Each structure stands twice: as C-alpha cells, then as structure tokens.
Amino acid sequence: MSRFLTEPKTAKTSFSADARKVNLTIGSSCMQGWRDTMEDAELVEVDLPGRGNVTCLAIFDGHGGDVVAKEVAKEIIPILVQTDGFKKFDGTDPTLLVSALRDCFLAVDDRLRETVGVDNRADEIGSTGLVVLVTPKFVISANVGDSRCIMSQKNSQKPIQMSLDHKPDLEAEKNRIVAAGGTVFRGRVSGGVAVSRSFGDFWFKRNEENNPNKKPWDHLVIAEPCVNVIQRDSHDEFLVLCCDGIYDVMSNEQVQRFVRDRLKEGKKPEVIAELLTDECLNKGSRDNMSVVIGPSTVKVSHATTAPKLNLSIGSSAMQGWRDSMEDADVVEVEIPGSVNGACFAIFDGHGGDFVAKIVAKEILSNIAATEEYKQYDGSEPRKMVTALSKGFLNMDESLRTNELTASTADEVGATGLLILVTEKHIFSANIGDSRCILSKSQNQTPIQMSLDHKPDHETEKLRIVAAGGTVFRGRVCGGVAVSRSFGDFWFKRNEEGKPEKKPWEHLVIAEPCVNVQPRDHVKDEFLVLCCDGIYDVMSNEQVQRFVRDRLKSGKSPKDTAELLMDECLNKGSRDNMSVIVVVFNAKKK
C-alpha cells in the first residue's frame, strides 16, 4: 500500500551531459514528491562500448520498494552490451538493437530472480523499464510498464509516443493475462500490480505445477518489451522520458509544449526537467517523478581538400534552437576560369531560407560572368575586387527577376560572406554580419577579413539616414537587423520622385565590403567563416583560440567545426549555426 508524506519532498537530484557523437544535449531531474520513499532510478550513458556510437537514456519506476529499480539500473547496460545483437551493431541495421533490447530485458529479469528475487523477496516488488538508445541514425525505444518516451519534431504540434503504456485493462494485454490464467480487477493484474509488464513482481511469474516449463512471455506479468524504431532526420527536436508521475497530470501534447516553450526561452535541458517536475507537483501529482530530456543537435558536416592550394577544409551546420534552418553554405575547391582558386561562402537567411539557398546556388556564376573576373590572371587583385562587387550587385538584381523571389522577398533576405583563396591572395566580400577571421601563427589576435554591417554602425547609420530611413532599436526603420543583405526588397524600393535610384542608395544595400590579404605560405594558419550564431557568444580571439587548440590536439577541420558549434550551443547561442574551417598546410621555407 502506498504511503504519503504530510508535505512533499521537493529537493531534486539533477545533472546534465553532452552526447556529442549522437548530437544530443541531455538534462535529467528526479524528485521524491509526496511518496514516503524514492523508488525511481534513472540512467544516462553517453557512450556505450562498441562500434555503433550509442547513447543510452533510461528510467526505472519502482513499486513496492526501490530494490528492483536500482538493480535493473545497475545491471542493464552490462547485460545489453554482451548480447549478440549489440556486438554485431555497426550503426547501420537497427534490427540488431531491437533483438538486443528484447534479449537484454528478459536476461535482466532472469538475473533478478537470482539476486534480489532469492527467497521470494521480490514477489511483490517490481519496476517499470524504459530504455532509449540513440545513435547517429536511429532512436530505438524499449519499455515494460507505463513510463513513457515522446519524440517532438519541429514541424508537428503532436509528438510521437515511442513507448506503449502496459496497463492491464489495455485490450491486448487483458487478453494475454486472461489467456495466461489471470484476471484484471480494478485495473490491476489479479487485483495486484497496476502494470501488465515489469521487471520483478515474481508472484505473477510463477510456474504452475502442471506447466513447469512456462516461457517468460507466458506469465501474468511479463518482462518482454515493446520496441519501436524511428529513423532520425532534420525535423527531430527533442526526446522526453518520464515516469507516470508526470503523465498522470499532463498529456503528451502538454509536455511537448511545456518543454518546447522553455527551450525557446533559452533554458537548459536540466533546468527544464526540474521545472517540469515542479509543474506536475503543482498540478497534483502524488508520485515520485523522474524526467530525462534530450534535445537533438543534428549537424550536416563535410570534409574535403584543395590539393592545388594545399588546403584542408571542414564545414558543419546546425539548426539549433530555431524552428527552421535558414543558413546555406558553399565549398568549391576549384573555381571557374584559368586561375587556381577555391571558394568558401556562408549565407545566413532571415524571414525564410529561399534567398540564402538561391544565392548559394548562383553567386559564383554571377561573379564569374563579370568582365573583370574573366580578365583576372592572378596578378592584379583589383580586378577580382571589382568582380566580387559587381557579382554581389548582379546577384541581388537577379533575385528581383527570379519568379521564386520577385514577389516574396520583400521581408526575406540573407547575409553574404564569400572568400576566394588563390595562390597569391585571400579575397573576402561580405554584406551583413557573417564573419571571417584569418589566423596567423604566433599571433594572438586574428585578422577580421569582413565587416559587420549593423544599422547602428556610425557610417551605416549615416548612409541609412541620408537615404531617408531611420535606425530604431538597432534595426533599419525598426525592421531588418542588418544594413546590407541580399533580398529584403521592401528596403530597396524606388520612390516616385527618384525612379532611377542606384542599388547603393537604398536603405539596405547589397554592395559588399571587399578585403584583400596577400598569402603568406609560412605564417597563414587558418580561416574561420561563421554566421552570427557563433559570434553572438564568442569573440574573434575566443574562436581563434578554440580552433587553434583543437587543431593542435589533432582534430580535423570538420571535427573542429562541429565542436565549435557545440561550444556555442552550450554558451547559449539561440540561432542557426554554420562554420567553415579552412586550414593552410603551411609550406616550409
């Protein structure tokens, strides 16, 4: 019989972890609440042994005591990793983990008979079990009992319930119980336990005299899990694992909305888990409560080289906390024409992604079509400077005539940062606030190749005012937050009295700032191109130091780009993030 306190115990045990190999940040919290004892146990293992890059999240909700829940939490991973399915799993075939989890649950239950179940000590002590395995490609949920896991996706207001509540009055479960010789009375198996599947509870798993070889799945209460597999994609937002102390008072949709709203406010998963237990206590939950939250931080990453220029390149992009991904990037290790060069670019969209995507697709061809680009032979950098400036303006003008953007890009735009590396020079052209730094060996301060085009920057503000606009709260006419961009045509209109307004006379313009640095094949160390989602939380010097330290430790440019985004996510960045790291493999003198 459950016993309750006169006042709830609201002290929490909470922690956080990063599972970088599977792109998860994790927070968990548990509270005893009104119960006279704490019978829940939870488990977070960010890196299981093996070849598959597997993270394990689990909750075990005990009843009749805590001994079974604690023993399962202790034994389940050692038994799981010894199953044939787990040993064979290399990240590609999720059915191996399905069979591994099933075998593991049954083996754990058998082990309990030999440990806590000796001398009938666990006849009426048991535990639910919810185990979620996350790999780079899949999420696999296995459960017995009524602890629950939901998967939230950014494009849906209704979460996916990955687990199944094993209640005795569920039709399929009731039929199984009756077929095994039992009854369901007041929602309990033979009037006893309130779940139809669990670890322990061995009174309900006895072999009758006339059926001595009863199989584990033939008992009144069984430990065979229901297993569900979902393939991960870019819409994945977060997982929430909870015991029934949460879902007794909140629906799946309410939990999804609660977690989503707090994530958008910038709260960390650990804090949100604590707030969720408080919310449920206030809503009347009388049970122990345990919560594990795992937001997804899926990245799209690439690695390549430019052998002719002696470059190593890594890029990565992450949607982060935004409800959509509006960034686009370009990595071209060979550029059109006769000049040996490579192009790297980031376009950070706002109001939508289509301007950024179109510019990423067409910008290089617009630059290459200019006469100055065609005349450039590598010796006169001023020709490339002119080509870049004309290419940006031509690109913006072509957006006005593009059927996808002509009538829809009034308040949709994108910053633009483009770098050309040749044998003799590094060219940077940018509009907006994406940024490129050049690090030179032995220098502690990098060279900022780009200029942040913010409306309250003195020269930009003067230009905006001269064009008839204002700067209000750091925005052009209270609207767009950058003073130069592609698209944003509401801010590039021709007035009646000035029908021939030049492109550079508008409130927001697409004329780039172009910078040239001569190549130094000894001192040039690396370039880092980032959108403002990085520089919102890190300075140029911090980025330089972070990248330099990771490269010195042997990390590849791609790994370094991914780690830089993780660092900024942990520092509180709320934006999409895109990073390109270009390493100059310095030639010896």
pLDDT (tens digit per residue) in 260-297: 998 878 788 999 999 999 999 999 999 999 999 887 77
Same domain, 279 and 190: yes
pLDDT at 498: 57
Which residues 6+ apart lie within 8 Å of 18 measured at CB? 24, 25, 26, 46, 566, 570
- Per-residue pLDDT averaged across 154-173, rounded? 94
Token code pair at residue 17: 């972890």
Q: Confirm whether 138 is domain-assigned.
A: yes
Token code pair at residue 311: 């470059």
pLDDT at 406: 65
Alpha-carbon gap, residue 143 to 472, rounded angstroms = 54
Cite the beta strand spans of 285-395 per DSSP E.
289-295, 299-306, 311-318, 327-332, 341-350
pLDDT at 572: 82
Which residues 6+ apart lie within 8 Å of 209 measured at CB? none
Cβ atoms < 10 Å from Cβ of 580: 26
pLDDT at 364: 97
- Per-residue pLDDT averaged across 241-266, rounded? 92
Same domain, 159 and 305: no
Same domain, 191 and 140: yes
Same domain, 267 and 314: no
First-residue to last-residue Cα distance in the chain:
81
Same domain, 218 and 69: yes
- Per-residue pLDDT averaged across 99-106, rounded? 97
Q: How confident is the model at residue 79 (pLDDT cuts 50, 70, 90)?
A: very high
Same domain, 309 and 393: yes
Token code pair at residue 118: 């000796």
**Residues 298-340 pLDDT 10s:** 788 899 999 999 999 999 998 887 778 899 999 999 999 888 9
Cβ atoms < 10 Å from Cβ of 578: 29
- At residue 313, what are phi and psi to the nearest 5 degrees? -130, 135
- What is the helix (H) or strand (E) element at residue 38, kind and residue range? none
Q: How far is CA 520 from the centre of its chain?
A: 37
35 in Cβ contact with 1 (< 8 Å): no
Half-sphere exposure of 319 (CA within 13 A, CB side): 21
Tell me what the pLDDT averaged over the chain comes to: 92
Q: Confirm whether 465 is domain-assigned.
A: no
Cite the beta strand spans of 64-186 per DSSP E.
126-127, 129-134, 138-144, 148-153, 160-161, 184-185
Q: Which domain holds residue 225?
A: 4-295
Q: How confident is the model at residue 472 (pLDDT cuts 50, 70, 90)?
A: very high
**Residues 347-369 pLDDT 10s:** 999 999 999 999 999 999 999 99
Task: Inform me whether the pLDDT recorded for 588 exceeds 50.
Answer: no
pLDDT at 338: 87
Same domain, 342 and 259: no
Q: Confirm whether 483 is domain-assigned.
A: no
Same domain, 285 and 309: no
| Domains identified in the chain, total number | 2
Q: Confirm whether 499 is domain-assigned.
A: no
Task: Inform me whether the pLDDT recorded for 109 exceeds 90.
Answer: yes
Same domain, 268 and 348: no
318 in Cβ contact with 577 (< 8 Å): yes
Q: Confirm whether 524 is domain-assigned.
A: yes
Boundary of a domain, candidates 295, 313, 329: 295
Task: Inform me whether the pLDDT recorded for 586 exceeds 50.
Answer: no
**Residues 115-143 pLDDT 10s:** 988 888 888 899 999 999 999 899 999 99
Alpha-carbon gap, residue 290 to 248, rounded angstroms = 13
Alpha-carbon gap, residue 573 to 567, rounded angstroms = 9
154 in Cβ contact with 256 (< 8 Å): no
- Per-residue pLDDT averaged across 444-457, rounded? 96
Same domain, 119 and 179: yes
Alpha-carbon gap, residue 85 to 454, rounded angstroms = 55
pLDDT at 495: 56
Q: Confirm whether 485 is domain-assigned.
A: no
Boundary of a domain, candidates 274, 295, 316: 295
239 in Cβ contact with 139 (< 8 Å): yes
Enter the DSSP assignment of 282: H
**Residues 420-439 pLDDT 10s:** 999 999 999 999 999 999 99
Q: Confirm whether 492 is domain-assigned.
A: no
**Residues 502-557 pLDDT 10s:** 777 899 999 999 999 999 999 999 999 999 999 999 999 999 999 999 999 999 99
pLDDT at 425: 97
**Residues 30-55 pLDDT 10s:** 999 999 999 999 999 999 998 889 99
Which of 140, 212, 217, 235 minimizes the C-alpha distance to 177? 217
- What is the helix (H) or strand (E) element at residue 316, kind and residue range? strand 311-318
Q: How confident is the model at residue 589 (pLDDT cuts 50, 70, 90)?
A: very low
Q: Confirm whether 496 is domain-assigned.
A: no
Same domain, 269 and 397: no
Alpha-carbon gap, residue 567 to 404, rounded angstroms = 36
Same domain, 340 and 208: no
CATH number reported for the structural domain that contains residue 39 in this entry: 3.60.40.10
Query: What does pTM read for this prediction?
Result: 0.69
Q: How confident is the model at residue 148 (pLDDT cuts 50, 70, 90)?
A: very high
pLDDT over 70 for what percent of the chain? Answer: 97
Boundary of a domain, candidates 236, 271, 295: 295
